[in-house]
Structure 1
Amino acid sequence: MALKPSQPLRLFAEHLREQRINLTERWMKAVFNDADLTESDRLTYEQLADHVPAILEELCSALEDQDLDQVEPSIERNAKLHGRLRWKQGYRIDELVRELDLLRQVLLGAIFGYAEQYPAFTRRHEERARYFIDEAISFVTLTSIREVMTERDRKIDEYTGRLERANHELLLKQKLVGELYESRMQLTRSVVHDLRNFLNVFSMALQMIARAPARTDTALALANRQVGDMKTLVDELVEYSIVLGDTNAFATEAIDLRALFDELVAACVPTVEAKGLRLVQRFDRELGTVVSNRLKLKQIALNLLSNAAKYTKVGEVEFDMHVCGESQWCLRVSDTGVGIGAADQERVFKEFERANHEDVPGVGLGLAIVRELCRTLHGDLRFASHEGEGTTFEIIFPLRLDTDG
């Protein structure tokens, strides 16, 4: 009975299917023995075999049907997986091409061996089988290379993104370092300038005592004012350095805001009334206990109340604490003082920066301290001011401070 033209190829496909494990092992042996394939020595049997048995199965189906188009999607899927895995295993592209070329040689050797055993498998059948094998392995090779290139490009993009982010962070840090350096230099210049002025005036007072004993009282009053100003400068510098240098985790506690409010009112009433001002007090009865740091809250409030009294000549200072939403509360200090001009509002929170009121004592660290303490307590600091009308500061704090956040 004569064989149909396609039957010898089907029989050869069945032979390949039966010999699939043997052919895979023969191929792996060739790979292990190839001096150019260094990465394969590190792989286990399963890692090296990878998707090759599945590719051989699809090749057998193509030989049976004499149609590669039917199995091309499956071969492409397995080839992509093969290329992706080889990329992860550290293969170079030339190593990937070489190992697949060895697979081709093993399969071509299988054609030759089969033809010797079965005379019905003619030269025409050999050429047809060789065509399918060449086409299939070439397709696998091309697809695997493309997948390796895709993975490589993806990795390059990932590294490029990381590098760009790292470079951006570095630029930001350099900018912050530069700003910090400039800030510290400005602080140093300001301190030196103020100390020199204090010492000059103090020296003038001493000279006045030596040259004009009759004006001793005037000279002593001048010297005492300078000592007081110098003490204020040193005290604020110490307070600011403590705030900036305190990097340790601080303790939170349950705080009775009503008790703290009353304590703050008692502390600032003498200063406010000494200037002939009125202190307006408002406390929300719905506001009870909060979790925060009591000392830092007190520092913030005292600095704002002191500033309000300092920059207000007539009128009133208002001190208010109230609930603000379900999880927040608000500390509010307002005054009817000189206000802050639009040109000064950006800089008043910087060290040694003050609104242009030379007749008001101070060294310009109060609001810098407030800003830093608000950051520490997760407070949202807001303020509005109009020159000649007054200033309002509002800070929104969480009812429960999360120091891990």
Structure 2
Amino acid sequence: MNNSRSGFFTNLILLTVGFAILAVMAGASVFLAQRAADDTRWVTHSLNVENQLSLLQLSLRRAESGQRGFMLTGDPAYLAVYQQSFDLITPRMDELSRLVADNPEQATRATRLTQIVATKHDELQRITELAQSGDSSGALAIVRDTAGLQLMADFVTVSGEMRQIEQDLLADRSARSLNTSRWLLATTLVGAIALVVLAGIAIVLIRKSNSGLVRAREQLQEANAHLEEKVTERTADLQDANDELQRFAYIVSHDLRSPLVNIMGFTGELEAIRNDMAAKASKDDPESQQIIGDFDEAVGFIKASISKMDRLINAILNLSRAGRRAFSPQEIDLGAALDTIRNAVMHQAQAADATITIGPLPTIESDRLAIDQIFSNLLDNAVKYLKPGRPGKIEVTGSERGGFVVIRVADNGRGIDPADRERVFELFRRAGVQDRPGEGIGLAHVRALVRRIGGKIRLDSEPGEGSTFTVILPRRWREETAEQKAQA
């Protein structure tokens, strides 16, 4: 037991550690993956800034080349090249400004670069317009002015500074991205190794635990084998005791009947003596008449006691015979069987202003006489103990549950107090007001029969509301079913 508990806690600790490692790995992986994504985004950002600088410089160079080619040759093709490049300068400058807006140092240079590009843009535009209007000398004068060369030199300087800053940032961001990737790889490897180690330890412990379970199972099987032998012996002892008890009940009831017959015979003689005394006594003699009256009362009590004793003896004999009777299973249509029983008690039901409703019931394989006696008693009790002044309502319903059938006999009668719900199944015990004939044998007999055919009976009741007897029976009963039920 201690080894089992220790193994359980060890496995629990390993499982907890494994989950903790997985949680740490997951958290670290998510963090590092997010960091790697950020690093990649910033690397891409630096590359985009450099690319935008190159595209802007290319557009300026191509616009300047196209403008000069047109001015020197007058060829419209150069003018088209100039115009295409000229149209790209402003959007590319705007994109560059947007990209570096997060970096104050770069944003300042971008502003300076915007001013240079705008001035260069205006210069190119003036030269082109002069060339298109035929003022070649004016256009050439602007070209020869060193201001244009200085603008391009300033552009190259500022853009070079921006490019250098981005290259430095790119180097730093690339290094950080590489470092993050290494940490991510290391975390994954360490976690994987830890999980493999834990898995190996778990396998060893599981094998050890399985070995213990196999040994425990073998011991349990051995114990079960001895237990089955003891149960078999105990069952045989109980069967012998039950047989002996039934024989004892039969003998006692049989032996009780002999003195009862003698008492009944002497009671008859006493009645004959009383009749002789009454014939000889004078009707005018009060003392004689008083003696005869007392005599009649005593004999009446004796006869009533004899009658009750006779019923009790008959009940004991019936129970004893039922216990000795061999049951034989057969196919029974419960609907038809309960309909027959209902017809038998219909006269009493009508006298009590009661209706008996039988719902759809399944077919079972059981002892027919036992089934008839069980439900005859239940329906008879339901009719007998209806609540006065209220129309009686008795319903029998059934259902199937796995290999069993469940039959409920419900009424709206007097109901049974919770304290009496178990005692009503005891022999010679009754509950409630004793205003109906009976000896307290019926429900005891019912429970004994239900158990004999491998079933159970349960009572649910509310005083003043009614009672429900639930009978659970095996759908197919065999003698071994009842034996297993008794052993359980």
Q: TM-score, normalised by structure 1?
A: 0.46
> Over alpha carbons, which structure has the higher Rg?
2
| Larger helix share, 1 or 2 | 2
